[in-house]
């Protein structure tokens, strides 16, 4: 018997490290070879200085968790528990040894089931035999499967065997047998076996599992989770309950019916049975199976005209079957929810079909339904349509107006006024907001229609005057309750409902004003809404007050003369200052919101407001001294009047040159505001030119600094980027560039630079009395199930932008990428803090990285030139035992660069 | 038994309360939270907790280890929801406790307390699953908008009282040294302690400490003496003679620092009632992470920044803080101090996502009774910072820190964690 693995022929230069007391101890530099001695595969390292000294001789065994990290590191644990690392000078050398280790391990693994199964056939490790499915064989089956699951080759071979031999159906009878025998240990083993089978992550296996004859047996076994020995789930009871499937109109196609029930089971597996143990690949396989089933189901439904006809006739007013109508609404709702995940054309088809069959009537039926739950459902369907294509929806609405029918908006507005269920009211407000959104996203339409439609008017596009007219009409209707406030002599006794309504209305108006400067002017002016909202600034209900305040905050940042006039003519600032007086010096939300408004005026130097506020309310603000804001405002005013100091021209020009990137990024809410148009610009530039503004700003901060002592931190404006942060900006500009400087820095440090830092972090290191690094290494049986999904990794805002479809995208499949990913995660083991690209989380993972850098410095080889930013920054960290936090970070980086 | 107490009892049993009651609870919470500043002042003693992430049973374990509300004063640093399968139960229970004992529990906002994040990471789905519509999610998100952005713990003692028999190797420590940190396991056994020399101070202040009665830091703080000093406030109220024992305030935020925020008071100038923005001060406070770098760095999370030890040092000095406590990052040991103890990450979700294998921790800060306690850092005391930057300011001493480390709840105390399946289906 001989190993058929060819040892690598030449010697690779390498450093040997051993983990001692949580620090990597350098055992020396030498040459590494893979050898097979007495049929035992070994890794040898001979010392470079003393060729006869053996730095390392280790036998490759199948169980040691070898990991390849980065390009040049191999890390593993010796049978005696010592963590070792080999840091190669060159990636190529590392790859050679790594291949050797890999081949040996796979070979050993394939021989694992029975010692006598040794074979010279190199193919042997690609086929796996499981013992016959009998209760007595369960321990062995479990064992073989666990062993095989460690490598991708093993998993593939196992999958093939299981499918070819139809192994799963043969296992099913064992579940009842074991139950009859009340053999808990067998049931636990069966549960493990089922888990391993599902986590093989093979489409065919998972599809088999959810078939009628199999599913109950599989979830039956999964009811006995050895991790919860005292519990038994009741999956079978849930899945066997046929009554959960509701049929409004029978679906006749048997294939589709089957798909529906499979999909339901898949969802149950994903959400309930396997929720805790799902890893990333299996999660995405489940998701993609569900997704493709749903596509088929929805396609079938929308193409099935008789079905749709029957479905919508359920809503015939002459029919008295209310239960059926309610179910039909639920059915449509479920279609809409599924549609959200579909691709846009499929979704458009479905909705278009629904609409042509009378979906709007259904929505109208639902939102007037006496049951709040059904109203909610109805609005949900509407919102799904709005999310899908707001332009189309507005088109339908305007068409209805044009045809002198009652548009949906009117219905919604009336409901909003009268709705008593606050949840429904909330939804209604959102729907009205979108439907009436004065800013029609034209780009959106064109993008969807394609360039050829660019110049063609949409069929139902109506004249702008008409649109404006409709907007005014609807807005008048909508904001009527606000207008009525004029005659309300007291606002103390507002009911809960009224408060909620006014909040929604003001909120909607704020949205309109932000979306479109001009469109909402008419209604605000004609209905004189501003004074009404100003009234709300004085109500005792604080959140309503806040909503009103936010309306005026929005006006403030618009830089539009019309809205400015609203602010200055209605004693708005007086009322806001009243709130400041009421709340100060208490530090609460309202108070902060007021301060933020005045801060914004000051920081962004909104001259008309500075003038207005100081001139009109000078007395009032003079007395507010608990924050700097108001004194600074007065100061700014005085500078405008010409009392300011000489501007420093160098600083000024510097300010202009400062890249505006960071400014925008950190600008407070100001950034949400669109650019000034020419007319407004002109308005702001009358009498004083731009320079003057900047001069005064400059001198303000200067003067303030003088006043408070040079180092006072308080005076600087909240976001005074140009002078405040130029250093930081530099820092940030250089940071993303390859961390050359950092690498260099590290290189300058002695090899074991960690030791010098030990003291600083010693408490950290010694602190956890529970040796977490050890407990973290979970036993092998959990390896396969604990690989972590990438979604679970860490929060990333970036992920959000990639949209919800990420989940339903197809899995990596058996391609090489998937292979790599799996392999890595297997070797990482259970360490869930890691994910796809993550390297060892074994407490030591970051340390070897440092070694890599050290080695390169020692041997002056340019291996690190290709370091990514991640590496560089990790290298820059000199903490000896890098913690898991930084691993997480690394994962994030990985995700980041991988595009999620 | 009031409705609220009933709701608390029900939620403690991991059973949900009806939608109407959730709505009412959220409105009550809103009324309460609107009165809180962006940075809430909290007096020691207090127990600081990190991310919970819907791991209800582990939250129960946390209360078991740290003491129940209202016996223990709690500060939760956000991320109550998402990931775990019981976000609703966890958050609603915390909210009930907040409404029931407003002074005994403080909740601040985490980056997961956001509409956008919760639709991706599970809370939204859970609400739909458990209540059939998104209404409860909307109510909760409304509450999220009102949550404070940070908290300032005042009057923490620089020294711990040993909480148990000290093992022999450590009893050889000089008696003059004070107990700075202590690590306890979930059984309350001390597993590690660190000491530091007492400050070289005038006899008077040492004496006063020596005669101060032993106290249990988890005892109720009702008997606080008249508070005259201003340890941690930065006010010049430290009367001479006791300067050396000043313990700086502890700033608690979910994520970390922001380049836009150089003083704690700047946080007060944020209008926080909004969805967490993608950039700016409010975003940074909830998203940033400390890192072994100099200055500021781009965050791989796509929001917030990375900040180095120099930033922390400067910020702490400028604001008279002894420590920044934050959460936001999984640490396998449950807590992790960085930058010479200038910042600590506290993580309170053991075995995160039911699979990470980490332990969790909570951080207890004791009450300083030796030095006359403290005055709550007055919001109106804005000019106080002027005096802070003199070169001769005595260094603040970090508070005594007791970490209680705990593991995931024993499996027999909870069922198998799972999401709730859909009731009926058509498709």
Once rounded to an integer, what is the mean pLDDT over residues A41-59?
81
- The pLDDT assigned to A871 comes to 36
| Inter-chain residue contact B330 with A884, CB threshold 8 Å | yes
Q: Quick one: pLDDT band at residue A472, thresholds 50, 70, 90?
A: confident
Cα separations (Å) of A157 from A103, A127, A410, A828? 16, 5, 64, 21
Highest mean pLDDT (candidates A172-186, A321-335, A676-690, B277-291): B277-291
| Inter-chain residue contact B191 with A276, CB threshold 8 Å | no
Question: How many Å lie between the alpha carbon of B265 and the closest alpha carbon of chain A?
Answer: 8
Quick: pLDDT tens for A364-403: 899 888 988 899 899 999 989 988 888 888 888 888 888 8
For residue A242, count CB atoms less than 10 angstroms from its CB and return exposed for 0-12, middle for 13-18, buried for 19 or more: exposed
**Looking at the partner chain, which of A227, A593, A763 has a beta carbon nearest the beta carbon of B273?**
A593
Give the three-state DSSP class for B196. strand
Please give the Cα distance from A200 to A565 (Å, whole number).
68
Residue A820 has pLDDT above 90, yes or no: no
Quick: pLDDT tens for A88-131: 888 888 888 888 887 777 777 666 554 444 444 444 455 778 88
**Looking at the partner chain, which of B133, B297, B386 has a beta carbon nearest the beta carbon of A708?**
B386
Residue A691 has pLDDT above 50, yes or no: no
> Which chain A residues have a beta carbon less than 8 Å from that of B30?
543
Cα separations (Å) of B153 from A413, A765, B74, B255? 48, 27, 11, 17
- The pLDDT assigned to B354 comes to 85
Pick from A410, A409, A405, A377: nearest CA to A393: A409
Please give the Cα distance from A550 to A531 (Å, whole number).
15
Please give the Cα distance from A433 to A508 (Å, whole number).
6
* CATH class assigned to A12-111: mainly beta
| Inter-chain residue contact A714 with B382, CB threshold 8 Å | yes
Please give the Cα distance from A772 to A572 (Å, whole number).
59
CA torsion sign, B397 to B402 to B403 to B409? negative
| DSSP secondary structure string for all residues of A674-689 | PPP-HHHHHHHHSSS-
Beta-carbon count within 10 A of A137 CB: 15
Residue B64 has pLDDT above 60, yes or no: yes
The residue of chain A nearest to residue B22, with distances taken between CA atoms, is A423
Question: How many Å lie between the alpha carbon of A201 and the closest alpha carbon of chain B?
Answer: 18
Q: Quick one: pLDDT band at residue A717, thresholds 50, 70, 90?
A: very low
> Which chain B residues have a beta carbon less than 8 Å from that of A831?
356-357
- The pLDDT assigned to A404 comes to 82
**Looking at the partner chain, which of A760, A792, A892 has a beta carbon nearest the beta carbon of B353?**
A792
Q: Quick one: pLDDT band at residue A879, thresholds 50, 70, 90?
A: very low
| Inter-chain residue contact B357 with A830, CB threshold 8 Å | yes
> Which chain A residues have a beta carbon less than 8 Å from that of B235?
none
* Of B87 and A797, more confident: B87
CA dihedral A378, A384, A389, A391 (to 10 degrees): 40
Report the run of H or E that residue B16 belongs to, with start and end.
Answer: none
- The pLDDT assigned to A450 comes to 40
| DSSP secondary structure string for all residues of A774-827 | HHTS--GGGTTT-PPPGGGS---HHHHHT-THHHHSPP-TTSHHHHHHHHHHHH
| Inter-chain residue contact B192 with A833, CB threshold 8 Å | no
Residue A443 has pLDDT above 90, yes or no: no
Domain residue extents for chain A? 12-111, 129-278, 489-641
Q: What number of C-beta contacts closer than 8 Å exist between A and B?
A: 328
Cα separations (Å) of B121 from A791, A832, B124? 8, 17, 8
Q: Quick one: pLDDT band at residue B56, thresholds 50, 70, 90?
A: very high
φ, ψ dihedrals at A88, nearest 5°: -85, 150
Q: Is the peptide bond before A585 cis (omega within 30 degrees of 0)?
A: yes
CB B402 within 8 A of CB A214: no
- Name residues whose C-beta falls within 8 Å of residue B198's C-beta, 6 or more positions apart in sequence: B176, B177, B178, B206
Question: How many Å lie between the alpha carbon of A587 and the closest alpha carbon of chain B?
Answer: 5
Beta-carbon count within 10 A of A383 CB: 16
Question: How many Å lie between the alpha carbon of A3 and the closest alpha carbon of chain B?
Answer: 37
- Name residues whose C-beta falls within 8 Å of residue A238's C-beta, 6 or more positions apart in sequence: A244, A268, A272, B421
Please give the Cα distance from A111 to A105 (Å, whole number).
10
Which of A323-332, A855-864, B106-115, B312-321 is predicted least confidently? A855-864
> Which chain B residues have a beta carbon less than 8 Å from that of A273?
418
Cα separations (Å) of A800 from A340, A791, A797, A806, B125? 16, 11, 5, 10, 15
- The pLDDT assigned to A811 comes to 36
B57 in reach of chain A (CB within 8 A): no
Give the three-state DSSP class for B85. coil
**Looking at the partner chain, which of B34, B303, B389 has a beta carbon nearest the beta carbon of A588?**
B34
- Name residues whose C-beta falls within 8 Å of residue A563's C-beta, 6 or more positions apart in sequence: A513, A517, A555
Cα separations (Å) of B319 from A589, A707, B53, B231, B315? 22, 20, 31, 12, 6
Report the run of H or E that residue B401 belongs to, with start and end.
Answer: strand B401-406
CB B234 within 8 A of CB B389: no
**Looking at the partner chain, which of A426, A592, A896 has a beta carbon nearest the beta carbon of B269?**
A592
**Looking at the partner chain, which of A626, A768, A792 has a beta carbon nearest the beta carbon of B380?**
A626
CB B267 within 8 A of CB B150: yes
- The pLDDT assigned to B16 comes to 93
**Looking at the partner chain, which of A423, A764, A797 has a beta carbon nearest the beta carbon of B337?**
A764
Walk across the sheet containing B150-154 and list its strands: B39-43, B150-154, B249-253, B321-326, B343-346, B335-338
Report the run of H or E that residue B169 belongs to, with start and end.
Answer: helix B168-171
| Inter-chain residue contact A876 with B354, CB threshold 8 Å | no
Question: Is residue B112 annotated as a catalytic residue, yes or no?
Answer: yes
Mean of pLDDT over chain B: 81
Residue A825 has pLDDT above 80, yes or no: no
Question: How many Å lie between the alpha carbon of B246 and the closest alpha carbon of chain A?
Answer: 22
**ipTM, 2 decimals?**
0.81
Residue A531 has pLDDT above 50, yes or no: yes
- The pLDDT assigned to B315 comes to 95
CB B366 within 8 A of CB B399: yes
| Inter-chain residue contact B411 with A230, CB threshold 8 Å | yes
- The pLDDT assigned to A787 comes to 43
* Of A50 and B205, more confident: A50
| Inter-chain residue contact A832 with B291, CB threshold 8 Å | no
Angle between helices B87-100 and B135-146 (to 10 degrees): 50
| Inter-chain residue contact A731 with B356, CB threshold 8 Å | no
| Inter-chain residue contact B386 with A595, CB threshold 8 Å | no
For chain B, how are helix, strand and coil distributed in percent, rounded to 5? Answer: 30, 20, 50
Interfacial B residues in 239-298 facing A (CB < 8 Å): 259-260, 262-263, 265-266, 268-273, 277-281, 287, 289, 291-298
Angle between helices B19-33 and B135-146 (to 10 degrees): 10
> Which chain A residues have a beta carbon less than 8 Å from that of B279?
665-666, 671
> Which chain A residues have a beta carbon less than 8 Å from that of B132?
373
Place of tokens 């989770």: A225
Once rounded to an integer, what is the mean pLDDT over residues A255-272?
90
Interfacial B residues in 122-151 facing A (CB < 8 Å): 132-136, 138-139, 146
- The pLDDT assigned to B262 comes to 93
Please give the Cα distance from A698 to A814 (Å, whole number).
62
- The pLDDT assigned to A551 comes to 93
Which of A209-213, B43-47, B187-191, B368-372 is predicted least confidently? B368-372
Please give the Cα distance from A498 to A161 (Å, whole number).
68
- The pLDDT assigned to A111 comes to 64
Pick the CATH number of A489-641 from 2.30.30, 3.40.50, 1.25.40, 1.25.10: 1.25.10
How do strand B178-184 and strand B401-406 relate by DSSP bridges? parallel
Report the run of H or E that residue B326 belongs to, with start and end.
Answer: strand B321-326
Question: How many Å lie between the alpha carbon of B153 and the closest alpha carbon of chain A?
Answer: 16
Pick the CATH number of B3-159+246-368+400-412 from 3.60.21.10, 3.40.50.150, 3.50.50.60, 1.10.3720.10: 3.60.21.10
Residue A471 has pLDDT above 90, yes or no: no
Residue B214 has pLDDT above 70, yes or no: no
Q: Quick one: pLDDT band at residue B298, thresholds 50, 70, 90?
A: very high
| Inter-chain residue contact A713 with B318, CB threshold 8 Å | yes
* Of A730 and B255, more confident: B255
């Amino acid at each position: 018997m001989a190993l058929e693995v060819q040892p690598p022929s030449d010697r690779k230069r390498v450093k040997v490290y051993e983990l001692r007391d949580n620090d990597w101890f350098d055992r020396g530099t030498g040459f590494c070879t893979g050898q097979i001695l007495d049929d035992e595969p070994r890794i040898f390292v001979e010392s470079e200085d003393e060729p006869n000294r053996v730095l390392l001789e280790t036998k490759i065994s199948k169980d040691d968790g070898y990991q390849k990290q980065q390009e040049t590191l191999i890390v593993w644990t010796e049978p005696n528990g010592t963590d070792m690392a080999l840091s190669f000078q060159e990636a190529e050398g590392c790859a050679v040894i790594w291949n050797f280790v890999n081949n040996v391990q796979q070979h050993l693994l394939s021989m694992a089931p029975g010692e006598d199964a040794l074979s010279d056939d190199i193919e042997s490790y690609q086929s796996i035999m499981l013992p016959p499915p009998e209760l007595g064989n369960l321990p062995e089956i479990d064992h073989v499967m666990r062993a095989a699951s460690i490598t991708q080759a093993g998993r593939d071979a196992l999958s093939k065997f299981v499918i070819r031999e139809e192994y799963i159906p043969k296992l099913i009878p064992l579940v009842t047998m074991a139950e009859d025998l009340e053999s808990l240990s067998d049931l636990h083993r069966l549960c493990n076996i089922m888990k391993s089978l599902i986590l093989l992550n093979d489409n065919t296996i998972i599809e088999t599992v959810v078939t009628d004859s199999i599913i109950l047996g599989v979830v039956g076994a999964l009811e006995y989770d050895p991790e919860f020995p005292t519990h038994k789930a009741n999956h079978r009871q849930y899945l066997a309950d046929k009554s959960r499937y509701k049929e409004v109109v029978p679906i006749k196609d048997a294939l589709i019916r089957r798909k529906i029930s499979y999909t339901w089971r898949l969802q149950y597996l994903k959400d309930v049975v396997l929720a805790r143990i799902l890893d990333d690949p299996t999660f995405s396989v489940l998701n993609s199976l569900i997704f493709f089933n749903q596509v088929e189901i929805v396609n079938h439904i929308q193409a099935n005209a008789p079905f749709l006809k029957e479905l919508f006739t359920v809503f015939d007013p002459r029919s008295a079957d209310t239960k059926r109508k309610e179910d039909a609404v639920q059915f449509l709702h479920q279609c809409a929810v599924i549609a959200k995940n579909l691709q846009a054309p499929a979704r458009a088809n479905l909705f278009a079909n629904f609409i042509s069959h009378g979906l709007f009537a259904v929505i109208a039926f639902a939102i007037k339904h006496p049951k709040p739950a059904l109203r909610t459902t109805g609005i949900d369907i509407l919102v799904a349509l709005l999310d899908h294509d707001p332009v189309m929806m507005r088109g339908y609405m305007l068409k209805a107006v044009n045809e002198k029918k009652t548009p949906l908006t009117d219905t919604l507005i009336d409901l909003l006024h009268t709705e008593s269920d606050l949840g429904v009211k909330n939804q209604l407000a959102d729907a009205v907001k979108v439907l009436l959104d004065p800013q029609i996203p034209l780009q959106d339409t064109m993008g969807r229609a394609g360039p050829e439609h660019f110049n063609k008017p949409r069929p139902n596009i109506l004249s702008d005057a008409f649109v404006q007219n409709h907007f005014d009409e609807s807005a008048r209707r909508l904001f009527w309750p606000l207008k009525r406030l004029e005659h309300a002599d007291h606002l103390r006794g507002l009911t809960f409902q009224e408060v909620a309504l006014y909040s929604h209305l003001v909120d909607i108006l704020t949205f309109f004003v932000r979306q479109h400067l001009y469109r909402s002017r008419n209604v605000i002016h004609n209905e004189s809404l501003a004074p009404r909202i100003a009234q709300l600034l004085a109500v005792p209900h604080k959140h309503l007050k806040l909503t009103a305040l936010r309306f005026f905050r929005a006006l403030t940042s618009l830089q539009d003369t019309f809205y400015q006039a609203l602010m200055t003519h209605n004693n708005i600032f007086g009322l806001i200052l009243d709130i400041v007086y009421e709340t100060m010096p208490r530090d609460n939300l309202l108070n902060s919101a007021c301060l933020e408004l005045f801060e914004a005026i000051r920081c962004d130097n909104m001259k008309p407001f500075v003038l207005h506020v100081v001139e009109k309310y000078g007395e009032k603000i003079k007395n507010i001294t608990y924050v700097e804001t108001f004194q600074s405002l007065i100061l700014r005013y005085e500078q405008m009047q010409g009392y300011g100091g000489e501007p420093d021209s160098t600083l000024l020009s510097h300010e202009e040159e400062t890249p505006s990137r960071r400014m925008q990024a950190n600008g407070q809410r100001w950034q949400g505001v669109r650019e000034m148009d020419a007319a407004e610009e002109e308005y702001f530039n009358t009498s004083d030119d731009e320079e003057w503004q900047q001069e005064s700003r400059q001198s303000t901060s200067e003067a303030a600094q003088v006043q408070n002592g040079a180092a006072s931190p308080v005076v600087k404006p909240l976001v005074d980027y140009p002078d405040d942060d130029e250093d930081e900006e530099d820092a940030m500009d250089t940071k993303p560039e390859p961390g050359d400087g950092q690498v260099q820095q590290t290189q300058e440090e002695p090899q074991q630079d960690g030791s010098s830092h030990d003291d600083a972090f010693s408490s950290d290191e010694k602190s956890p009395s529970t040796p977490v690094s050890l407990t973290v290494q979970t036993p092998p049986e959990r390896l396969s199930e604990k690989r972590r999904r990438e979604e679970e990794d860490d929060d990333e805002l970036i992920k959000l932008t990639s949209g919800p479809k990420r989940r339903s995208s197809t899995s990596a499949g058996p391609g090489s990428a998937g292979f790599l990913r799996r392999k890595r995660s297997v070797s990482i083991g259970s360490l869930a803090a890691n994910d796809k690209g993550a390297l060892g989380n074994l407490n030591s993972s970051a340390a070897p990285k440092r070694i890599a850098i050290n080695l390169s410095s020692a041997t002056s080889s340019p291996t690190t030139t290709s370091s990514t930013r991640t590496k560089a920054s990790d290298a820059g960290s000199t903490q000896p035992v890098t913690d898991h936090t930084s691993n997480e970070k690394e994962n994030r980086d990985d995700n980041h660069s991988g595009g999620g | 038994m009031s409705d609220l107490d009933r709701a608390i009892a029900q939620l403690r049993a991991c059973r949900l309360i009806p939608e109407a009651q959730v709505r009412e609870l959220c409105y009550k919470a809103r009324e309460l939270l609107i009165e809180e500043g962006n940075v809430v002042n909290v007096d020691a003693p207090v127990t600081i907790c990190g991310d919970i992430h819907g791991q209800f049973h582990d939250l129960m374990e946390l209360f078991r280890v740290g003491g129940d509300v209202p016996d223990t004063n709690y500060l939760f640093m956000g991320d109550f929801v998402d990931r775990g399968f019981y976000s609703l139960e966890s958050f609603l229970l915390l909210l009930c406790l907040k409404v029931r004992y407003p002074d005994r529990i403080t909740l601040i906002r985490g980056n997961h307390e956001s509409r956008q994040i919760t639709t991706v990471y599970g809370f939204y789905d859970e609400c739909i699953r458990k209540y059939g519509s998104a209404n409860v999610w909307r109510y909760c998100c409304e509450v999220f908008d009102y949550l404070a952005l940070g908290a300032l713990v005042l009057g923490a003692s620089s020294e711990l009282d040993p909480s148990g028999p000290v093992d022999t190797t450590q009893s050889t420590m000089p008696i003059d040294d004070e107990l700075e940190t202590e690590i306890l396991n979930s059984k309350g056994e001390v597993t590690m302690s660190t000491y530091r020399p007492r400050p070289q101070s005038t006899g008077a202040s040492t004496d006063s400490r020596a005669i101060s009665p032993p106290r249990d830091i988890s005892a109720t703080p009702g008997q606080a003496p008249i508070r005259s000093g201003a340890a941690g406030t930065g006010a010049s109220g430290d009367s001479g003679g006791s300067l050396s024992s000043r313990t700086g305030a502890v700033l608690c935020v979910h994520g970390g620092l922001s380049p836009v925020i150089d003083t704690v008071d700047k946080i007060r100038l944020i209008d926080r009632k909004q969805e967490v923005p993608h950039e700016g001060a409010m975003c940074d406070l909830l998203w940033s992470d400390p890192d072994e770098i100099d200055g500021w760095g781009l965050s791989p999370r796509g929001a917030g920044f990375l900040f180095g030890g120099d930033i922390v040092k400067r910020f702490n000095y400028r604001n008279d803080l002894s420590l920044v406590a934050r959460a936001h990052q999984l640490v396998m040991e449950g807590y992790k101090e960085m930058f010479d103890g200038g910042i600590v990450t506290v993580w309170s979700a053991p075995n995160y996502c039911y699979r990470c294998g980490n332990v969790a921790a909570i951080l207890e800060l004791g009450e300083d009774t030796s030095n006359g306690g403290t005055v709550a850092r007055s919001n109106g005391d804005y000019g106080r910072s002027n005096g802070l930057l003199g070169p001769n300011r005595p260094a603040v001493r970090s508070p005594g820190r007791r970490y209680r480390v705990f593991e995931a709840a024993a499996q027999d105390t909870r069922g198998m964690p799972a999401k709730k399946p859909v009731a009926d289906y058509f498709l």
